[in-house]
Chains A and B, each alone.
Chain A
Amino acid sequence: MNFKHKYLFLLPGLLVLLAILIFPIGFTVRLSLSSWDSFYPALDFIGIENYVRLFTDDARFWEAFGRLSLLSVTTVFLQYVIGFGLALIVWKEIAFQRFFRVLFLIPMMTTPVIMTVIWRTFFHESLGPVNDILSHFNLAPLWLSSETLSKFTVMIVEVWQWTPFMFLLLLAGLLSLPKEPFLAASIDGAGPIRTFVYVTFPLMAPISIGAIIIRLIEASKIMDTVYVLTSGGPGTATETSSFYIFIKGLREFQFGYSAALSLTYLIIMIISFTIIAKILVKLMVRGN
């Protein structure tokens, strides 16, 4: 179908988006080549000095990046496994089916930072309910101020918040599957486990890949939760890339350097997502 006024439909949205985005992106590129900071707030030109510093003299950035990879891959994996499990359970007949479907969706509707404020009181080391219950077993874990455990706390909050999103995408997928393969499987006498391995999982592979990629993209941006829960601490134990760039740019006002960090981070993200998508397609589709 064609139509000479077709641009009337496309252009308003496209132009608005371009107009809002062209300056920020162009400006970030230019800024990354300058030494703009709070002492010398001007757009000078220092070549690729910022990038040299980033690659040779900034272990903290790469540590934050490693931590981000660990956090996002682990939480997305957990969200996928739990979300898929829950979706499978309420997909079939179960008591109070619709109640559980609504309940399992609720966390994704809540504002992450606000729930994190609640989680902070929940995991409070002396006044929170978790340690109150654990104190009966003579345990008092330092949920927010231990280097190892604070990462785990961030993961718990992330899994609580975003498993529903995975659940939603996967349940929507399950509900849209054709019925015939399942009929065929039951005629062949396949039990629930065999049906899952040979029918459900392969049919769900494309949806699974889509859902995992969407969640990985969102998880790679994590910083709100970290900011409220631990402020990146203790020390830098829960600092993620976004949070580190935020500190450099909007706390220490090293605009030039943080622009270089931003662009590097963005490019690494795009490359990793492309690679991860390829690997997932290989693993999940070709395997069957």
Chain B
Amino acid sequence: MRVLYTSLKYLAVVLWSTFVIAPFLWAVSTSFKDFQSVTNGATYIPWVDFEPNLEGWRALWKSPAQGGVDIVEPFFNSVFVTASGSLISIVLGTLAAYALSRFTFKAGFIRNGDITFFFISQRIMPPVVLAIPFFIMLGKFSLLDTLAGLIIVYIVLLMPIAVWIMVDFFNKVPVEIDETALIDGCNPLQAFYKVVLPNSIPGIIVAGMFCMIFGWTDFFFSFILTFTEVQLLPVAIVALNSSITPWWSLSAAALVSVAPLVLVAFIVERYLSKGNLSGALK
């Protein structure tokens, strides 16, 4: 019975791991192929099934004119938009979350809970509902096809996440910390940034990671709201998909874009194992 249970457990883990890894292995293998080894049917192992070459990877640095798939600029655009959007969302979201966790607000029938719900409920909004009005609004302010326009949109996308995680986090930070600081003669502003903020670093990191994930992986808004001047990484890569697909450079580009956040998985796991996530995620 015990042996059966253990072997079933490991069988499940191995099966699921294979499923998780499979597309990555396929992409790594494909990124070293050329036209021949892609179009002659599926091949897997370099040197055995096909002769590997670096064309797919070299294409990443070449301009489209040279037959490449310039993803360097889209990569840094993505970094810039994700970082700015996350930073603004975290700053504004943390302040708002602190207020919602510590002070009482009343306006008519509206209470703290309702304001928190308003923030978080923005996640329910399907992107497609906002797309057309955003398109028209950004057009009015000449912000279509600019990084600034995208950052504005990303704030709507990311601030709900920041508020959601930080409200729960602040609710777990004992109020006594703030009160001690106040008794020591700080005003509430000082108490916040001298005492509460340093104690909230784990929460801010978790919120930051989630903002980064949801910012970096967004496709729809940059797809709708940018055209030629500004291109983000996912849009650049999906654009490759529609032309006569060069599977090798497509796979190489995909791996480059996916790699940075895979590192985040390690950080998330560390926090998880230390028990810091449980409070922040409920």
Binding site for B on A (CB under 8 A): 1-3, 5-10, 12-14, 16-17, 20-21, 23-25, 27-28, 31, 82, 85-86, 89-90, 94-95, 98, 100-115, 117-122, 126-129, 131-132, 160, 168-169, 171-173, 175-176, 192, 207, 210, 217-218, 220-221, 223-224, 228, 241-242, 245-246, 249-250, 255, 258-259, 262-263, 265-266, 269-270, 273
Contact status A118-B278, CB under 8 Å: no
**Does B201 have its Cβ within 8 Å of any Cβ on chain A?**
no
Report 16 cross-chain contacts, Cβ distance below 8 Å, ordered by A residue: A5-B189, A6-B105, A10-B105, A14-B96, A24-B137, A89-B12, A98-B269, A101-B272, A111-B216, A121-B251, A127-B41, A129-B42, A129-B44, A160-B23, A210-B282, A265-B129
If A114-B254, A127-B38, A171-B272 are given as contacts, then 8 extra A-B residue pairs at C-beta distance below 8 Å, sorted by A number, are A23-B137, A119-B23, A217-B123, A217-B124, A218-B123, A250-B135, A262-B129, A269-B126
Distance, CA A204 to CA B119, complexed state (A): 26
Chain B's nearest CB lies how many Å from the CB of A140?
12
Known contacts A6-B103, A21-B122; A115/B131 CB under 8 A: no
Distance, CA A165 to CA B261, complexed state (A): 14
Please name the 7 residue pairs, one residue from A and one from B, whose CB atoms are nearest each other, closest first: A176-B278, A9-B99, A24-B133, A13-B96, A132-B42, A13-B92, A10-B99
Chain B's nearest CB lies how many Å from the CB of A23?
5
Contact status B13-A100, CB under 8 Å: yes
**Does B163 have its Cβ within 8 Å of any Cβ on chain A?**
yes
Binding site for A on B (CB under 8 A): 5, 9-10, 12-13, 16-17, 19-23, 26-27, 30, 38-39, 41-42, 44, 92-93, 95-96, 98-100, 102-105, 115, 119, 122-137, 152-153, 155-156, 159, 163, 175, 178-179, 188-189, 192, 213, 216-217, 219-220, 224, 233-234, 237-238, 240-241, 245, 247, 250-251, 254, 257-258, 261-262, 264-266, 268-269, 272-273, 275, 277-279, 281-282
Known contacts A111-B216, A120-B241; A21/B156 CB under 8 A: yes
Known contacts A17-B122, A172-B278; A107/B20 CB under 8 A: yes
Instruction: State which of A20, A104, A110, A117 has its C-beta within 8 Å of the C-beta of B156.
Output: A20
Distance, CA A103 to CA B262, complexed state (A): 9
Residues of chain A lying within 8 A (CB to CB) of residue B179? 1
Distance, CA A128 to CA B247, complexed state (A): 11
Chain B's nearest CB lies how many Å from the CB of A99?
9
Residues of chain B lying within 8 A (CB to CB) of residue A273? 124
Contact status B269-A101, CB under 8 Å: yes
Residues of chain B lying within 8 A (CB to CB) of residue A106? 20, 262, 265
Contact status A224-B219, CB under 8 Å: yes
Known contacts A20-B155, A118-B26, A132-B42; A9/B98 CB under 8 A: yes
Contact status A172-B126, CB under 8 Å: no
Contact status B268-A105, CB under 8 Å: yes
Contact status A89-B13, CB under 8 Å: yes
Contact status B159-A17, CB under 8 Å: yes
Contact status B126-A10, CB under 8 Å: no
Distance, CA A171 to CA B248, complexed state (A): 37
Known contacts A122-B26, A175-B272; A262/B9 CB under 8 A: no
Contact status B26-A14, CB under 8 Å: no
Chain B's nearest CB lies how many Å from the CB of A268?
11
Residues of chain B lying within 8 A (CB to CB) of residue A1? 102-103, 175, 178-179
Known contacts A109-B265, A119-B23, A250-B224; A207/B241 CB under 8 A: no
Most buried by B among A98, A110, A119: A110
Contact status A126-B262, CB under 8 Å: no
Most buried by B among A108, A129, A169: A129
Distance, CA A242 to CA B127, complexed state (A): 8
Residues of chain A lying within 8 A (CB to CB) of residue B26? 118, 121-122, 129
Chain B's nearest CB lies how many Å from the CB of A208?
12
Distance, CA A10 to CA B124, complexed state (A): 22
Instruction: State which of B13, B131, B216 has its C-beta within 8 Å of the C-beta of A250.
Output: B131
Residues of chain B lying within 8 A (CB to CB) of residue A89? 9, 12-13
Contact status A31-B133, CB under 8 Å: yes
Contact status B275-A109, CB under 8 Å: no
Distance, CA A12 to CA B94, complexed state (A): 11
Contact status A117-B278, CB under 8 Å: no
Known contacts A13-B159, A108-B213, A113-B238; A173/B278 CB under 8 A: yes
Instruction: State which of B21, B105, B130 has its C-beta within 8 Å of the C-beta of A24.
Output: B130
Closest to B178 in A: A1
